[in-house]
Structure 1
Amino acid sequence: MAEPFRLVPPTEPPQGTLPHNVEAEAALLGALMIDNRLVEDVQIRLRADHFHEPAHGRIYEAILRLVDRNMIANPVTLRPMFEGDEALKELGGPGYLAQLTGSGAALIGARDFATQVYDLALLRALIGVGREMVEKAIDTSESVDPKSQIEEAEVALYRVAEEGGEQGSVKTFGQATRLAVEQAERALNSGGHLSGITTGLDSINGKIGGLHASDLIILAGRPGMGKTALATNMAFNASRRLIRDREDGIEEGKSVGAGVAFFSLEMSADQLATRILSEQSGISSENLRMGKISQLDFRNLARAAQDLESLPLYIDDTPGLTIAALRTRARRLKRQRGIGMIVVDYLQLLQGSARGASENRVQEISEISRGLKQLAKELQVPVLALSQLSRQVESREDKRPQLSDLRESGSIEQDADIVMFVYREEYYVAAREPKHPTEGDDAKTFEAHDQWMRDMDRAYGLCEVIIAKQRHGATGKVKLKFENKITRFSDLADEG
């Protein structure tokens, strides 16, 4: 019988056995001093702390400083900066700088040396993360909280992964043009003038062209306006369109649908699923929760559930996520499930880093909105983030939201590519219902109630989506139909 697998904590490697190549570091520094033009290539990724030998890191930093000032960096110009460097004396003093330039052969492989120095630094960082994980897991003197330790480890690993991720690349105008033509072709082939991911609502698609890759879209509204319902509808429509396009033989890259990661920090996964089932089966979500359904309703519900089983919609309802943890999970879903869209419900429930948490809330929100925009660009997917509005909306006579109503608005408005507001007049009209008149009341009471009834008839089942900011096109309003009982938005029939 095979011996069971055991987790054995690794012993800490001696400093000398950590991955490093001092010779490659020395050769790289020599090459940089011989030809300062090489600095342009290596400084994009390589930092002073990537060098294993601290003295080498200081020499590299000094070279960068001189080159930045348009000065020549060679053993002669660097010498005064290292006259009193004690660590360099052990290597031979300022004369060591001249030794580094002794072999011109290093010029040929300078970029390869830089890559190796960088890769070995990543390996050392990875060992550091692993060692810290082991030490924290073994130490039970403080509170034992493995879940938070796993979360911290994920964030630490994400930092290492981000460090070694793809660097921003320069594209020629020809490459950028090809990408633009491909987008136009996609819009033409979609039949609905869509260059991005579909929202499932033609009126919104027509206004913004769908949800575009690398965009941060903010969907904001006061409580009760239906912003979660609209985001859920969009997520469902995008994932269902992907399934249909697959069935029709449309290539994944040319589909206007997408797999969706839905980070629900407010509602649980089963509550979101109930909403989608309610919308698809036509049974009110309240009746579903309370079991007030007939056998026929239940059969419709079972049929809808079966249809939705293979939907590429992934719900993460972990409460209190940090922006770093959300980015880690989104990267994993992109890698494992190939998601093409992210929804965050809602932005103010996310937490900043530990550093950001000690600062004020505005700075924390700035970190979060910037992090979401970076995530959209990094994964090349649209990020739809819901946001609360401040209470100042309620104090105005016209309660249509404005950009200034966004909570901690500066950073959110600045980072967003599109800002949309959900506004339902019906909600406010219903809230100001006057006293129901009785036989003894005067004419004014009857007239006030009749006027309220007319206002309700006009506003009933209608919703406005206000596009207040759009980098790619015009702003404006879109009218939608909203069925409150089944939380479904749909296009409004053209009155003409």
Structure 2
Amino acid sequence: MARELPNSQNLEQSLLGSLMVYPSIMQSCMDQGLDYEEFYLPIHQKIYAVIQELQGTGKPIDLNNVIARLQDKNELEQAGGSDYIIQLMDSAISPVNTNSYIESIKNKAQMRQLILAADTIAENTYDSSEDIDTLLDDAERSIMDVTRHRRGAEFESSAEIIDRVMEELNRLKNMEGITGIKTGYSDLDRYTNGFQRGDLIILAARPAMGKSALALNFASEVAKHNKEEAVAIFSLEMPTDSLMKRLLSAESNVESNKLRNGSLNAQDWNKLNEGSSRLGERKIFIDDTSSIKVSQIFSKCRKLKSEYGALSLVVIDYLQLITGTRADSRQQEVSDISRNLKILAKELDCPVIALSQLSREVEKRTDHRPQLADLRESGSIEQDADIVMFLYREKYYEKDEEEQSDTELVDLTLAKHRNGGLGDIKLVFKKSISKFSAWEQSREDDVYAN
């Protein structure tokens, strides 16, 4: 025998009766976002919909107006008739209990939505025509749609907000150093106060500029300074072993080509053993799924957070390789992806760094320095991001590549910073070990002389 869906028929009757006796409680219904579709019985849905209409037109909410409005719509009999509506008034409750009744009705409605979503998932799963990734993606989206319908935050008074802000300012005053998550680069930390939790950070550059290497350097440094929190890296282009070799090369200062061909001497092995020991102590987790979807990134990050308590950084290399939803255009697809990555940062309460390609327009200009307009495929990337950083290597465009030094000075440009200043940050890039270091002004002349 089929089980009855969760419902609160008695509570619905009491609330509807109370609305006609104490019309002022309609404000509580509006404050909590109660909608007619959240009532279980269709007759109750029709009655509450009419009450909403009366409220919207400014007419008094009372028995006569409710019945008259239902008659005008030829829905009186479908709503149980006049006698039933009169009986509802006998179920009226004290206004004091209104909020708990509204909450119960909304909770039961969400339980029904969850059951219906689960039924849909089960039905779709029995249909073997869809591949498993599509089924999982649709299932997670269905559950997320249910959770999004939960009531959002209410208004807060200025007094409540200012108390919290002043408490936070007092906490920051007593802190030593930066207030966010250390990046490992002092000049960048001075601009940003560290990567802030909940921020979406776009690191963009043309190919071969070193953006993947810099992102790995960020991940390693953040993991070093936040030993109890996890760092997640999603590498959609490079396999896990190759990525770890880059991390190991930068950490141990052993040239990456030696790790590729195995020509390692005793000193190299000592450096590698020390570097691997340090890296092994850091909670860095790598996923190299090449066609990953945003929903899968959400799922894996949630699992990582539940296991380790918190995430200090998520790195995605790179944004344009994420498999999007079935949108009307690639531009819309990328827009949806960037918006969801911002949601990911807020939900996980950690910074998310997403690498991004730049359009070829950069190569057509005399000045090859990137601009915000060069962000590839969607202007919404700029809109969703809290920080947009461009990596630029001037020497990359010099013709005599063979004469170029292994070490060069590069620019990391803060082109957008929602909560801070803009500017250029100098970094030192040692190409043979894929390592970026903070620039020391005192060494400029003897290291970077042309």
Superposition TM-score, scaled by structure 2 size: 0.87
- Is residue 2:376 matched to residue 1:433? no
SS in structure 2 opposite 1:108? helix
Q: Please say if residues 83 and 94 of structure 1, whose CA atoms lie closer than 8 Å, have aligned partners that are also in contact.
A: no
Q: Equivalences for 1:43-122 in 2 at 5 Å?
A: 43=30, 44-83=32-71, 89-105=77-93, 107-122=95-110
Q: Please say if residues 155 and 328 of structure 1, whose CA atoms lie closer than 8 Å, have aligned partners that are also in contact.
A: no
Q: Distance in 2 between matches of 1:260 and 1:183?
A: 26
Q: Please say if residues 334 and 340 of structure 1, whose CA atoms lie closer than 8 Å, have aligned partners that are also in contact.
A: no
Letter in 2 for 1:330: C
Q: Distance in 1 between matches of 2:293 and 2:22?
A: 44
Q: Please say if residues 261 and 342 of structure 1, whose CA atoms lie closer than 8 Å, have aligned partners that are also in contact.
A: yes
Deviates more, 1:482-491 or 1:284-293: 284-293
**1:215 corresponds to which of 199, 213, 216:** 199
2:408 — aligned with what?
461
Q: Deviations over 1:261-290 (max 9, x none)?
A: 222222233332221111111122332133
Q: Distance in 2 between matches of 1:58 and 1:90?
A: 8
1:440 — aligned with what?
none
Q: Please say if residues 261 and 313 of structure 1, whose CA atoms lie closer than 8 Å, have aligned partners that are also in contact.
A: yes
- Is residue 2:418 matched to residue 1:411? no
1:214, CA displacement in angstroms?
Answer: 2.1
SS in structure 2 opposite 1:340? strand
Deviates more, 1:230-239 or 1:51-60: 51-60
Letter in 2 for 1:209: N
Q: Sort the Cα spacing of 1:125 and 1:23 in 2 relative to 1 into closer, same or farther, 3 A.
A: same
- Is residue 2:441 matched to residue 1:494? yes
Letter in 2 for 1:30: G
1:364, CA displacement in angstroms?
Answer: 2.0
1:420, CA displacement in angstroms?
Answer: 1.0
SS in structure 2 opposite 1:152? helix
SS in structure 2 opposite 1:20? coil
Q: Equivalences for 1:350-361 in 2 at 5 Å?
A: 350-353=322-325, 357-361=326-330
1:152 — aligned with what?
138
Q: Distance in 2 between matches of 1:409 and 1:282?
A: 38
1:469, CA displacement in angstroms?
Answer: 1.2
Q: Equivalences for 1:161-310 in 2 at 5 Å?
A: 161-164=147-150, 167-173=152-158, 175-177=160-162, 179-181=164-166, 184=169, 191-192=176-177, 194-243=178-227, 258-310=229-281
Q: Please say if residues 422 and 465 of structure 1, whose CA atoms lie closer than 8 Å, have aligned partners that are also in contact.
A: yes
For these two proteins, the number of residue pairs brought into alignment is 441
Q: Distance in 1 between matches of 2:381 and 2:353?
A: 12
Letter in 2 for 1:27: S
Q: Distance in 1 between matches of 2:262 and 2:361?
A: 39
**2:423 corresponds to which of 450, 472, 476:** 476
Q: Distance in 2 between matches of 1:296 and 1:493?
A: 27
Letter in 1 for 2:322: L
Q: Distance in 1 between matches of 2:134 and 2:263?
A: 41
1:18 — aligned with what?
5
SS in structure 2 opposite 1:109? helix
Q: Please say if residues 277 and 301 of structure 1, whose CA atoms lie closer than 8 Å, have aligned partners that are also in contact.
A: yes
Q: Distance in 2 between matches of 1:477 and 1:259?
A: 29
Q: Distance in 2 between matches of 1:230 and 1:113?
A: 54
1:394 — aligned with what?
363
Q: Sort the Cα spacing of 1:460 and 1:290 in 2 relative to 1 into closer, same or farther, 3 A.
A: closer
1:196, CA displacement in angstroms?
Answer: 1.0
- Is residue 2:333 matched to residue 1:364? yes
Q: Distance in 2 between matches of 1:271 and 1:175?
A: 51
Q: Distance in 2 between matches of 1:183 and 1:107?
A: 37
Q: Deviations over 1:82-137 (max 9, x none)?
A: 22767762552255444333333253322212222222222223322333343344
Q: Sort the Cα spacing of 1:313 and 1:460 in 2 relative to 1 into closer, same or farther, 3 A.
A: closer
Q: Please say if residues 217 and 383 of structure 1, whose CA atoms lie closer than 8 Å, have aligned partners that are also in contact.
A: yes
Q: Distance in 2 between matches of 1:65 and 1:367?
A: 35
Q: Please say if residues 28 and 106 of structure 1, whose CA atoms lie closer than 8 Å, have aligned partners that are also in contact.
A: no
Q: Sort the Cα spacing of 1:469 and 1:303 in 2 relative to 1 into closer, same or farther, 3 A.
A: same
**1:132 corresponds to which of 111, 115, 120:** 120
Deviates more, 1:258-267 or 1:221-230: 258-267
Q: Distance in 2 between matches of 1:319 and 1:61?
A: 49
Q: Sort the Cα spacing of 1:39 and 1:393 in 2 relative to 1 into closer, same or farther, 3 A.
A: farther
Q: Considering only aligned residues, what root-mean-square deviation do their CA atoms show, in Å?
A: 2.9
1:182, CA displacement in angstroms?
Answer: 5.7
1:449 — aligned with what?
none
Q: Distance in 2 between matches of 1:382 and 1:302?
A: 31
Q: Distance in 1 between matches of 2:82 and 2:300?
A: 49
SS in structure 2 opposite 1:461? strand
2:343 — aligned with what?
374
2:15 — aligned with what?
28
Any stretches of 5+ residues in structure 2 without a counterpart?
445-450
Q: Distance in 2 between matches of 1:187 and 1:236?
A: 25
SS in structure 2 opposite 1:102? helix
1:173, CA displacement in angstroms?
Answer: 4.0
Deviates more, 1:232-241 or 1:70-79: 70-79
Letter in 2 for 1:123: M
SS in structure 2 opposite 1:315? strand
Q: Deviations over 1:335-361 (max 9, x none)?
A: 3322133222222222333xxx23122
Q: Please say if residues 184 and 195 of structure 1, whose CA atoms lie closer than 8 Å, have aligned partners that are also in contact.
A: no
Identity of aligned pairs, percent? 36
1:52, CA displacement in angstroms?
Answer: 1.9
**1:346 corresponds to which of 318, 321, 339:** 318
Deviates more, 1:178-187 or 1:47-56: 178-187
